[in-house]
Amino acid sequence: MALTFKPAVYDGMTFYELPRPITAMRVQDAWDFEQFKVPLANGDFVVGHSRQGVDIAIEGQVGTQAGDLKISEADMFQELEDLRAALDVTSSGDEYEFFLYHDIATAKYRKLKSCSTIRFDFDLSNKALFTYSVAIHAEDPTIYTTAPGA
Nearest-5° angle of CA 140, CA 146, CA 148?
A: 90
pLDDT of residue 134: 98
Q: Which domains does the chain carry?
A: 4-29+50-138 (2.40.30)
pLDDT of residue 103: 85
pLDDT of residue 112: 98
Pairwise CA distance, residues 43 & 92, whole Å = 42
Rounded alpha-carbon distances, angstroms, from residue 35 to 27, 30, 31, 54, 118: 25, 15, 12, 22, 29
pLDDT of residue 87: 97
pLDDT of residue 78: 97
Q: 10 Å Cβ neighbour count for 142?
A: 12
User: By C-alpha distance, which of 76, 85, 97, 105 is closest to 3?
Assistant: 105
Rounded alpha-carbon distances, angstroms, from residue 130 to 16, 117, 126: 18, 20, 6
Pairwise CA distance, residues 15 & 33, whole Å = 37
Q: What are phi and psi of 102, to 5 degrees?
A: -160, 155
Tens-level pLDDT at each residue, the chain (150 residues): 588 999 999 999 999 999 999 999 999 999 999 999 999 999 998 999 999 999 999 999 999 999 999 999 999 999 999 999 999 998 878 899 999 998 878 888 999 999 999 999 999 999 999 999 999 999 999 999 998 988
